[in-house]
Amino acid sequence: MTSHPLAYAARAARFRPSGVRSVFDIAMRPGMISLAGGSPDLSVLPREQVAELAAGMIRGAGPDALQYQPAQGLDGTIEAIREVMRAEGVDAAHDRIQVTAGSQMGLQVLTTLLADPGDTVIAEAPTYVGALSVFGGLEARVAQVEIDEHGMLPDALEATIARVRATGSRIPFLYTVPTFGNPSGASMSAARREAVVELCRREGILIVEDNPYGMLAFDDEHRLPLYARDPENVVYLGSFSKIFSPGVRVGWLAAPPELRGRVQLAVEAMTIHASVVGQVLAQRFITETDWRGHVRRSADVYHARRDALMAALDEHMPPGTTWTRPHGGFFTVVTLPPGTPVDGLLDAAIDARVVYVPGSEFMADGSRADTLRLAYSFEPEHRLAEGARRLGEAIRALG
Amino acid sequence: MTSHPLAYAARAARFRPSGVRSVFDIAMRPGMISLAGGSPDLSVLPREQVAELAAGMIRGAGPDALQYQPAQGLDGTIEAIREVMRAEGVDAAHDRIQVTAGSQMGLQVLTTLLADPGDTVIAEAPTYVGALSVFGGLEARVAQVEIDEHGMLPDALEATIARVRATGSRIPFLYTVPTFGNPSGASMSAARREAVVELCRREGILIVEDNPYGMLAFDDEHRLPLYARDPENVVYLGSFSKIFSPGVRVGWLAAPPELRGRVQLAVEAMTIHASVVGQVLAQRFITETDWRGHVRRSADVYHARRDALMAALDEHMPPGTTWTRPHGGFFTVVTLPPGTPVDGLLDAAIDARVVYVPGSEFMADGSRADTLRLAYSFEPEHRLAEGARRLGEAIRALG
């Protein structure tokens, strides 16, 4: 035993267990159906081909894949990233791309560089729980803006900006997941995109656009990233996690070159650079496989799963329950009817061998306890149906 | 062009280009001999065997190597890490190990959790430049303690503790590279280790022991890590970068379980978890190859290179120049004779096509401009000799 208790820094108290990660272990229990984590389905991946890529990465690139490399990222990886962005209608110059150890790190670094303690980040209500943990860890406040099925409401955004500024708190940036949002599944319409970009430009507020799901559409609508509309005032966060593999831990950001350079310095202090084996594997996946076909097949899988989950919710949720109907991505948010008991619901669901993430995790103030985030990305259709059945049972058992 | 300049957070100014990384690009220029970066030599690696490991990682672990995984790290990777630590005489329990995206991230997270702005970290003079960039980025001060060839002087440490405390600044931890230190190459003797551990325990100061080079000894002396002497008051930072590959970006720390748990939360906020492909590759390297043989062969290579560099320094440095003679690791520090002109020396060296890191990079106050860190880890012997010749020429040209 240590003879003196460890004295933590004040900021240590800001790192709390996230609801998503806490249920990660639970989701691994035998017999458990997980509607919790946002894991992609990797069964569609051409495994033998990826195995050959991995071997070729060592044989071909040789020691380079195993050595220290430039902190911006490998040139070849940056070019592969540019190809991915072009598929979404975005042309970003090489010197605007910074490779990160996942886009979580991109957001961590941006917030470190842009938000002083006490500043107020604006985000959607609800928003990505991992973003809230970054903001909290760096002592930024969060103001969340109402959304509907077409994403953030520009009027509500304008009102929030005014309200925050009236408190004297500075707004370092707007954080948004405009396409197939996490957790809502909602996407900004083209009109909303234009309005939000225009409003932020006028108000002098930088936009941080997080776009891990943008390519996983269930329809043919092209949802042009905000970055393409105003590359000088939007920072784009991208990721290989949902179109290839989360395990490589490779993401990127696109930003004006001066900001990109500062991001590189912070990345160096944090982890020197992203995993090179991860970078080379992701790069080879883009340059040497039919990656667009893989993304299309993945989206088809998620599309069918969304349908299976929606049908099962229709069948098993209590009357008056509502949920979002996303046109892409991984998630829906379920809102229980008014008056439904929610205390103990997660425990009851786990007892019934189904796990989800409480909606309150996606609100900085812990509100919205009457909502649940359900992921349809990972479980096959029959298990999604059974999960919805178990969830309905758990809700009724508490009622 | 953006219509408004980007407003950075105050802490953004704390991320400055590191001397080591700035010379990274220069080191890549054709014809340049690099005595700068601390890159391991990877030519000793059994490349075909590692290629097979990489392919097998995808074929065998299948999607697991590509998926999200627990934030502590893969169980198998943690067991491989325990085997590596046992080879150094340390037995660390599973729940004390946290896998990180390189030990740089381990230090970043520990400093985040333990050091409030204005606190004073104690470190060796000189110390690892990447540590200084972590401390600076988190607004901690640094007090550096005199060392000799046997490492940190306990009396100087005690005096520094008293001096810092007299200023009212709290000491969150002592940061030390006790074995084959970066940049000095010096190692703490057994007596010094005992004295430092005892002093810190008595004073209630946590020790953060950074040990990337410990296994790369040129002799048979066993240098027991500080962690083994007081696991409740020492946090151990380990890395696969020097014994296998920096490109996997996998390191770890060993700490009391409560602190380890908090580190996991901060790792999650920063990058979710370390690269899984990196973890699996490192794990398989330990479990499926003669990794101890590889480390031994690597140490032999570095040993011969140290000898080659020392011989060339004897031949080419001006009279009165001194340098450390490390018994392991990657680096030596050269001290120029009093009165040698040093302004413009790095530029002159680069013009002569040899690059090193100025010793001032390893001092928080930028002192010791009369010293140079030379790495003998990466260049083959004939190029080390030629590098020393060019360096001597550059020094004389300025004199």
Give pLDDT tens digits for B106-133: 999 999 999 999 999 999 999 999 999 9
Higher pLDDT, A12 or B298: B298
Angle at the Cα of A250 from the Cα atoms of A69 and B85, rounded to 5 degrees: 70
Best B67, B165, B294 residue to mutate vs chain A (most A CBs within 10 Å): B67
- In this prediction, residue A76 carries a pLDDT of 96
Residues of A in contact with B107 (CB under 8 A): none
Position A171 pLDDT exceeds 50: yes
Do strands B357-358 and B354-355 pair parallel, antiparallel, or not at all (unpaired)?
Answer: unpaired
C-alpha to C-alpha distance for A93 and A113, rounded to whole angstroms: 22
Structural tokens at position A58: 């060592």
- In this prediction, residue B15 carries a pLDDT of 85
| Residues A282, A298 within the same domain | no
Structural tokens at position B218: 């040129």
- In this prediction, residue B22 carries a pLDDT of 72
Q: In the Cβ-directed half-sphere of B223, how many Cα atoms lie within 13 Å?
A: 25
Structural tokens at position B270: 């920063």
Q: Would you call B278 and A275 a contact, using CB atoms and an 8 Å cutoff? A: yes
Structural tokens at position A56: 């070729």
Q: Which of B294, B381, B399 is nearest to B33 (CA)?
A: B381
| Residues A284, A303 within the same domain | no
Residue B168 domain-assigned? yes
Rounded to 10 degrees, the C-alpha dihedral B238/B239/B243/B244 comes to 150
C-alpha to C-alpha distance for A340 and B37, rounded to whole angstroms: 62
Residues of B in contact with A51 (CB under 8 A): 55-59
Q: Could you tell me if B68 lies within 8 Å of chain A, comparing CB atoms?
A: yes
Q: Tell me what the pLDDT averaged over chain A comes to.
A: 94
- In this prediction, residue B2 carries a pLDDT of 45
Q: Which of B84, B125, B128 is nearest to B330 (CA)?
A: B128
Per-residue pLDDT reduced to its tens digit, B80-101: 999 999 999 999 999 999 999 9
Distance of CA B219 to the CA centre of its chain: 20
Instruction: Compute the count of residue pairs across chains A and B with CB atoms less than 8 Å apart.
Output: 277
Residue B55 domain-assigned? no
Q: Which of A69, A62, A280, A245 is nearest to B246 (CA)?
A: A69
Q: Would you call A113 and B4 a contact, using CB atoms and an 8 Å cutoff? A: no
Tell me the percentage of chain B whose pLDDT exceeds 90: 88
CA of A375 to nearest chain B CA: how many angstroms apart?
Answer: 15
CA-based R_g, chain A, Å: 21
Total domains present in chain B: 2
**Mean pLDDT score, A61-75:** 88
The domain in which residue A36 lies consists of 10-45+293-398
| Residues B31, B142 within the same domain | no
Strand arrangement, sheet containing B322-323? B322-323, B331-335, B371-375, B357-358
Q: Would you call B248 and A113 a contact, using CB atoms and an 8 Å cutoff? A: no
| Residues B202, B333 within the same domain | no
- Band (pLDDT 50/70/90 cuts) for residue B27 is confident
Tell me the percentage of chain A whose pLDDT exceeds 70: 97
C-alpha to C-alpha distance for B241 and B40, rounded to whole angstroms: 8
- In this prediction, residue A213 carries a pLDDT of 97
Per-residue pLDDT reduced to its tens digit, A118-132: 999 999 999 999 999
- Is residue B332 within 8 A of residue B323, CB to CB? The reply is yes
Three-state DSSP state, B142: strand
- Band (pLDDT 50/70/90 cuts) for residue A255 is very high
**Bridge partners for B144 per DSSP:** B123
- In this prediction, residue B335 carries a pLDDT of 98
Q: In the Cβ-directed half-sphere of B269, how many Cα atoms lie within 13 Å?
A: 29
Q: Could you tell me if A13 lies within 8 Å of chain B, comparing CB atoms?
A: no
Give the end of a domain, one of B288, B313, B337. B288
Amino acid at B375: A
Residue A57 domain-assigned? no
| Residues B278, B303 within the same domain | no
Give the Å distances, CA to CA, from A291 to A84, A215, A298, B348: 9, 11, 10, 48
Q: Could you tell me if A7 lies within 8 Å of chain B, comparing CB atoms?
A: yes
Residue A107 domain-assigned? yes
Position A151 pLDDT exceeds 90: yes
| Residues A387, A347 within the same domain | yes
- Band (pLDDT 50/70/90 cuts) for residue A205 is very high
Position B217 pLDDT exceeds 50: yes
Burial classification of residue B339, based on how many CB atoms lie within 10 Å of its CB (0-12 exposed, 13-18 middle, 19 or more buried):
exposed
| Residues A279, A324 within the same domain | no
What residue spans of A28-180 are helical by DSSP H? 47-61, 75-86, 103-114, 129-137, 154-166
Per-residue pLDDT reduced to its tens digit, A343-360: 999 999 999 999 999 999
| Residues A91, A153 within the same domain | yes
Residue A175 domain-assigned? yes
Structural tokens at position A352: 């019934």
Give the Å distances, CA to CA, from A57 to A1, A363, B55, B255: 46, 42, 9, 35
Q: Would you call B15 and A113 a contact, using CB atoms and an 8 Å cutoff? A: yes
| Residues B219, B116 within the same domain | yes
| Residues A188, A310 within the same domain | no
CA of A221 to nearest chain B CA: how many angstroms apart?
Answer: 29
Burial classification of residue A363, based on how many CB atoms lie within 10 Å of its CB (0-12 exposed, 13-18 middle, 19 or more buried):
buried
Position A3 pLDDT exceeds 70: no
Q: Could you tell me if B247 lies within 8 Å of chain A, comparing CB atoms?
A: yes
- In this prediction, residue A1 carries a pLDDT of 40
Q: Which of B9, B113, B269 sits opposite A134 (nearest CB)?
A: B269
Domain CATH code at residue A390: 3.90.1150.10
Residue B179 domain-assigned? yes
Q: Could you tell me if B52 lies within 8 Å of chain A, comparing CB atoms?
A: yes
C-alpha to C-alpha distance for A179 and A241, rounded to whole angstroms: 16
Q: Could you tell me if A43 lies within 8 Å of chain B, comparing CB atoms?
A: yes
Q: Which of A76, A41, A79 is nearest to A60 (CA)?
A: A76
Beta strand extents in B31-109 (DSSP E only): 33-34, 97-100
- Band (pLDDT 50/70/90 cuts) for residue A385 is very high
Q: Would you call B68 and A246 a contact, using CB atoms and an 8 Å cutoff? A: yes
**Mean pLDDT score, B18-24:** 70
Q: Which of B259, B270, B281 sits opposite A105 (nearest CB)?
A: B270
Please state the pTM of the whole predicted model.
Answer: 0.95
- In this prediction, residue A243 carries a pLDDT of 97
| Residues B280, B305 within the same domain | no
Domain CATH code at residue A132: 3.40.640.10
- Is residue B182 within 8 A of residue B330, CB to CB? The reply is yes
Residue B4 domain-assigned? no
**Mean pLDDT score, B215-244:** 97
- In this prediction, residue B1 carries a pLDDT of 40
Residue A58 domain-assigned? no
Give the end of a domain, one of B288, B317, B337. B288
Give the end of a domain, one of A259, A288, A317. A288
Q: Which of B132, B241, B137 is nearest to A262 (CA)?
A: B137
| Residues A166, A220 within the same domain | yes
- In this prediction, residue B21 carries a pLDDT of 64
- In this prediction, residue A24 carries a pLDDT of 78
- Band (pLDDT 50/70/90 cuts) for residue A217 is very high
Q: Could you tell me if B37 lies within 8 Å of chain A, comparing CB atoms?
A: yes
Position B77 pLDDT exceeds 90: yes
Position B61 pLDDT exceeds 50: yes
